[in-house]
Amino acid sequence: MQREEKQQEAILQAILNRVNDLKTAIQALITKLETEYETINWPTFLDNYAILSGHLTGLSKILQAEIAPQLRSLVVLPLQLGCKRDEQLAQMTEGRVPACTHDLVPDLLRTKPEPQAEQRLQQFNHKASTLNYDTAQKQVAQFTKVVSHVWEIISKERENWEGESMRASGIQPTHNMADTHALVTAVGTGKGLRLGMPAIVPGVGGPGMGPRVPTPQMGPSSQTMPKAPSTIKTNIKAANQIHPYQR
């Protein structure tokens, strides 16, 4: 019994610590939204939300551990009901529950939704079950169209924001996506290229030496150009001439 009680106290303490961390993170996020709503940006909000997600994940791991299922066999019941203020209860709940009254206990120990919430849930379920299939498909298609349109707007704004961030930080973009796509399309499919353009060979020499001259295209039926006479004179001596240094 002592071992089980110590194990139970350790589990409850771990759960309590995780819940306190989660409560602190929620309070910090609410305070940030109330005081910094004009300057807070989306990445900062996501960072704070990731902290909440981390605490919830840790709490789920504690509850899913092998030593935790014994909590399912425990039942929480109020030992005493009354309208008088309980200082210990108020301190444990940070002033939210000053007394364990007859009106408060049913809400704290409720295992089903409230009657109003349960009634609305039944109405929604009945409406979903009686909805026509074609009408549901039209609503889904319309909702998908709206979501796609919002996604395009967000993606465009994200590209603009990234470009402004790069310019603000002094990093100049080294590429243009439109030019890159045009170049890839031209190389792959030949789009934008004109046929029959003569090959241009740059002229030899510096500026002012004359315009560039197009090179003639040699077709299969073109005639061979005659060779120009060589202006270099050659003097061939006999191979049997006596070498002057020969003994």
- Give the pLDDT confidence score for residue 233 in this predicted structure: 54
- Give the pLDDT confidence score for residue 149 in this predicted structure: 93
- Give the pLDDT confidence score for residue 150 in this predicted structure: 92
| Residue type present at position 30 | I
- Give the pLDDT confidence score for residue 201 in this predicted structure: 46
- Give the pLDDT confidence score for residue 185 in this predicted structure: 85
Q: What is the dihedral of CA 162, 163, 167, 169, to 10 degrees?
A: 10
* pTM for this predicted structure: 0.41
Q: Which domains does the chain have, with CATH numbers?
A: 1-74 (1.20.58.1710), 77-111 (no CATH), 112-168 (no CATH)
- Give the pLDDT confidence score for residue 59 in this predicted structure: 87
- Give the pLDDT confidence score for residue 120 in this predicted structure: 92
**Which mean pLDDT values do the consecutive 10-residue runs of the chain (247 residues) have?**
79 88 90 86 87 89 74 76 85 83 81 85 88 86 92 87 72 73 84 62 47 49 50 53 54
